[in-house]
């Protein structure tokens, strides 16, 4: 039995019709001479009030413009159209332009490298180019992440870097991979504790297995890794700035001449003029939300806690050490699976939980065949240790589960425009009861049993939340909309999720190796860590509690583009291309003779004008 859904535009028309009938009756009744003046005044006033209010309901051209801020957020003007249309349009144009400008020859790639980084590529760059051509690796110029991770170390003398790396090999809970002069790639050292988690010990062979595929083309190197989920080297802003300045002039800073670090906790990594340094941070409670609606337009910028200091009080990465650790007195070349804008670990394209596709394919129906239109998430209560010593209720996963399962109170959201009225201004905010909307559009819960918690906290968690059974991949594949959120570190499940036919919503503070090679609003939907945009984004695509205002055509399009991106830009060959180029750069950086490890190819770099000749 089909159910008729009355659109908001029909409801508005009916209200206007009823208002007209009422006004006509009033005019007919108030016709006596005694009431004539009063009736005329009353009727004119009521008509004017009715017209003024209903004119606002009629579609008209938007006059407001949304503000695209340099911190990665767009601030919504309610007199403008729904911002998601513009966010999608801008993202699509930027993505197309990035692909159009990609180098198509070795000479073009060398010239673009020199234009971006003001130096020649590393030795072996031509062989790397051959590899990406043979394996159809896309966007050959988009490796700025490697440059950003390694550039400060160019301001340090190679001999000192080698000594720092050697010292890291002895640090507990680390492992070192390398290739000797004879060309053999192997695990050179591990310093795991006896009680180390079994997953930690799986890291070295997993990375080694991948690198074996390019063993013959890699230069000699020694690299030390942390096997843990998150980064461990907090940066000092002044120290990093001095090293970057030296790197820009091809000079070194003696380690005895380095500036003293600032012991400001997490804020030590932030520039003095940044919001994190200019405002007083109060982490005794959750940060207050911005009263204005905002969305993400630059996901990388939105992850930076120096620009968004509220992140220090919203994510377990920072809440696990509220005041923050002391920054490193010197920058250390150490690799990790993920890092943040305030750490200086060198990130790798971790192959953890990588999948080629979802098999059997029946576990991932086509978008239109997925029956559940609620937003799905299941996971453990990781991200912070749950104990009275920590503000775990402000951590990212706990806030997510609590927010979408709340039944008391109301929430306000932007009303999505109907098809054909995309250019009309945003309607006034719609208010909905949480008891009505949350069960209708959300299916988010912790799964299994409480973990990462003290005995008392585990008991409290059981009382606070319903822990549901873990879902099978087949059951999860029936949802059109799926949420991805950080755990103790980056999300290992994102590869599988974006390979599906579902639309993925992603919230994170960890820029990854592919961040410059993927486009939010083209391949997935970015969500702020404070979750303030979650309802507005979800309702835009799937509609409200009744499904009204849905833009499923756009949801389907982005979901399919995300799957295509995964199968084109996140193959094993793409991971290896990143590893390959990363270790070419790293081997040169650590060489006592960096010039000899530099590619000697065609073209000249104009250091004065900045153009490549």
Dump pLDDT digits (tens) for 476-517: 999 999 999 999 999 999 999 999 999 999 999 999 999 999
What CATH number corresponds to the domain at position 434?
Answer: 3.40.50
* pLDDT, tens only, 35-77: 333 333 333 333 333 334 444 454 478 899 999 999 999 999 9
Q: What is the mean pLDDT of residues 572-586?
A: 99
Check residues 121 and 283 and name the one with the higher pLDDT.
Answer: 121
Contact status, residue 411 vs residue 535, Cβ threshold 8 Å: yes
pLDDT for the residue 612 = 32
Q: What separation in angstroms does the CA of 602 have from each of 108, 120, 121, 310, 493?
A: 10, 10, 11, 48, 43
Q: What separation in angstroms does the CA of 225 have from each of 94, 170, 188, 580?
A: 35, 11, 11, 16
pLDDT for the residue 161 = 98
Check residues 243 and 43 and name the one with the higher pLDDT.
Answer: 243
Cα gap 18→12, rounded to integer Å: 10
Residue 162 has pLDDT above 50, yes or no: yes
In which residue are the tokens 């700035």 written?
241
Check residues 275 and 289 and name the one with the higher pLDDT.
Answer: 275
Contact status, residue 359 vs residue 464, Cβ threshold 8 Å: no
Does the residue 540 lie in any domain?
A: yes
Contact status, residue 256 vs residue 364, Cβ threshold 8 Å: no
DSSP class of 204 = H
Phi, psi values for residue 578, rounded to 5°: -70, -45
In which residue are the tokens 């020694």 written?
222
Q: What separation in angstroms does the CA of 582 have from each of 125, 147, 159?
A: 11, 9, 20
- Pick the range with the lowest mean pLDDT from 284-298, 471-485, 520-534, 536-550: 284-298
Contact status, residue 528 vs residue 293, Cβ threshold 8 Å: no
pLDDT confidence of 262, banded at 50, 70, 90?
confident
Residue 22 has pLDDT above 50, yes or no: no
Q: Which of 320, 347, 344 is nearest to 332 (CA)?
A: 344
Residue 108 has pLDDT above 90, yes or no: yes
pLDDT for the residue 515 = 98
pLDDT for the residue 52 = 40
Residue 138 has pLDDT above 70, yes or no: yes
Give Cα 519 distance to the centre of its chain.
10
Does the residue 444 lie in any domain?
A: yes
Q: What separation in angstroms does the CA of 31 have from each of 23, 26, 34, 46?
A: 13, 9, 8, 16
Check residues 35 and 9 and name the one with the higher pLDDT.
Answer: 9
Check residues 242 and 15 and name the one with the higher pLDDT.
Answer: 242
- Pick the range with the lowest mean pLDDT from 121-130, 258-267, 597-606: 597-606
pLDDT confidence of 27, banded at 50, 70, 90?
very low
Does the residue 441 lie in any domain?
A: yes
Q: Label residue 526 left, alpha or beta by phi (over 0 means left) and psi (-120 to 50 means alpha).
A: beta
Q: What is the mean pLDDT of residues 111-127?
A: 98
Does the residue 244 lie in any domain?
A: no
Give Cα 50 distance to the centre of its chain.
45
Q: Is the peptide bond between 360 and the residue preceding it cis, with omega within 30 degrees of 0?
A: yes
pLDDT for the residue 36 = 37
* pLDDT, tens only, 372-417: 999 999 999 999 999 999 999 999 999 999 999 999 999 999 999 9
Cα gap 8→306, rounded to integer Å: 42
451: its two tokens: 């973990």
pLDDT confidence of 334, banded at 50, 70, 90?
very high
Cα gap 113→452, rounded to integer Å: 45
Cα gap 8→214, rounded to integer Å: 59
pLDDT for the residue 56 = 47
Q: Which of 525, 486, 532, 488 is nearest to 509 (CA)?
A: 486
Give Cα 110 distance to the centre of its chain.
30
pLDDT for the residue 374 = 99
* pLDDT, tens only, 426-485: 979 999 999 999 999 999 999 999 999 999 999 999 999 999 999 999 999 999 999 999
Residue 529 has pLDDT above 70, yes or no: yes
Work out the mean pLDDT of the chain and round it to a whole number: 90
> What is the model's pTM?
0.89
DSSP class of 598 = B
pLDDT confidence of 602, banded at 50, 70, 90?
low
Does the residue 410 lie in any domain?
A: yes
Mapped onto helix, strand or coil, the DSSP state of residue 122 is strand
| Residue range of the domain that includes 30 | 8-44
Cα gap 127→216, rounded to integer Å: 11
Does the residue 461 lie in any domain?
A: yes
Strand ranges, E, within 26-135: 67-68, 73-75
Contact status, residue 591 vs residue 597, Cβ threshold 8 Å: yes
In which residue are the tokens 């059974």 written?
469
Longest pairwise C-alpha distance within the chain? 111
Strand partners, 440: none
Cβ-in-10-Å burial (0-12, 13-18, 19+) of 18 comes to: exposed
Cα angle: 323, vertex 324, 328; to 5 degrees: 145
Does the residue 391 lie in any domain?
A: yes
* CB within 8 Å of 207: residues ≥ 6 apart: 177, 225, 348, 350, 351
Strand partners, 177: 187, 223
Residue 23 has pLDDT above 50, yes or no: no
* pLDDT, tens only, 218-242: 999 999 999 999 999 999 999 999 9
Cα gap 461→63, rounded to integer Å: 48
Does the residue 304 lie in any domain?
A: no
Q: What separation in angstroms does the CA of 85 have from each of 32, 81, 414, 421, 541?
A: 55, 8, 13, 12, 11
Residue 330 has pLDDT above 50, yes or no: yes
How many domains does the chain fold into? 2
Residue 17 has pLDDT above 80, yes or no: no
DSSP class of 413 = E
pLDDT for the residue 51 = 34
Residue 20 has pLDDT above 70, yes or no: no
């Amino acid at each position: 039995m089909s159910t008729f859904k009355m659109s908001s535009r029909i409801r508005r028309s009916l209200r206007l019709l009823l208002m007209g009938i009422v006004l006509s009756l009033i005019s007919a009744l108030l016709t006596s001479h005694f009431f004539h003046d009063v009736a005329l005044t009353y009727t004119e006033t009521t008509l004017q009030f009715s017209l003024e209010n209903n004119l606002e309901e009629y579609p008209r051209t938007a006059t407001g413009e949304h503000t695209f801020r340099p911190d990665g957020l767009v601030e919504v003007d309610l007199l403008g159209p729904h911002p998601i249309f513009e966010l999608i349009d801008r993202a699509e144009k930027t993505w197309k332009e990035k692909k159009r400008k990609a180098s198509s020859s070795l000479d073009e790639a060398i010239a673009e490298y020199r234009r971006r980084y003001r130096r020649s590529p590393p030795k072996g760059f031509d062989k790397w180019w051959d590899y990406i051509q043979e394996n159809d690796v896309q966007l050959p110029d988009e490796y700025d992440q490697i440059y950003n991770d390694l550039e400060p170390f160019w301001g340090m003398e190679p001999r000192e870097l080698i000594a720092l790396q050697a010292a890291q090999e002895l640090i507990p809970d680390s492992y070192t991979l390398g290739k000797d002069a004879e060309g053999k790639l192997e695990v050179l050292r591990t310093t795991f504790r006896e009680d180390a988690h079994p997953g930690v010990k799986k890291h070295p062979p997993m990375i080694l297995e991948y690198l074996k595929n390019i063993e013959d083309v890699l230069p000699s190197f020694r690299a030390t890794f942390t096997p843990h989920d998150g980064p461990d080297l907090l940066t000092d802003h002044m120290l990093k700035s001095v090293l970057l300045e030296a790197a820009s002039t091809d000079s070194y800073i003696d380690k005895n001449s380095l500036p003293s670090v600032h012991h400001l906790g997490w804020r030590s990594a932030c520039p003095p003029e940044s919001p994190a340094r200019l405002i007083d941070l109060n982490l005794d409670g959750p940060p207050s939300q911005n009263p204005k609606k905002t969305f993400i337009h630059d996901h990388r910028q939105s992850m930076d806690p120096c620009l968004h200091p509220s992140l220090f009080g919203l994510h377990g990465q920072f809440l696990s050490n509220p005041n923050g650790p002391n920054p490193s007195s010197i920058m250390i070349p150490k690799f990790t699976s993920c890092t943040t804008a305030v750490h200086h670990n060198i990130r790798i394209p971790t192959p953890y939980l990588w999948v080629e596709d979802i098999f059997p394919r029946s576990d991932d129906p086509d978008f239109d065949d997925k029956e559940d239109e609620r937003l799905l998430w299941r996971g453990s209560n990781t991200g912070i240790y749950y104990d009275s010593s920590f503000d775990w209720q402000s951590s990212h996963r706990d806030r997510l589960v609590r927010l979408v399962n709340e039944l008391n109170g109301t929430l306000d959201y932007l009303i999505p425009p109907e098809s054909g009225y995309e250019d009309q201004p945003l309607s006034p905010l719609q208010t909905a009861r949480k008891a009505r909307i949350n069960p209708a559009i959300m299916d988010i819960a912790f799964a299994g049993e409480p973990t990462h918690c003290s005995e008392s906290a585990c008991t409290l968690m059981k009382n606070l939340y319903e822990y549901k059974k873990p879902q099978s991949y087949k059951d999860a594949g029936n949802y059109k909309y799926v949420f991805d959120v950080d755990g103790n570190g980056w999300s290992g499940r994102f590869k599988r999720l974006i390979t599906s036919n579902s639309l993925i919503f992603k919230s994170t503070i960890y820029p990854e190796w592919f961040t410059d090679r993927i486009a939010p609003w083209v391949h997935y939907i970015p969500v702020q860590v404070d979750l303030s945009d979650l309802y507005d984004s979800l309702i835009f695509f799937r509609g409200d509690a009744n499904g009204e205002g849905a833009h499923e055509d756009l949801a389907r399009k982005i979901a399919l583009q995300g799957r295509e991106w995964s199968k084109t830009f996140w193959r094993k060959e793409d991971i290896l291309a990143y590893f390959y180029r990363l270790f070419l750069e790293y081997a040169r950086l650590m060489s006592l003779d960096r010039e000899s490890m530099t590619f000697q190819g065609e073209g000249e770099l104009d250091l004065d004008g900045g153009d490549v000749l």
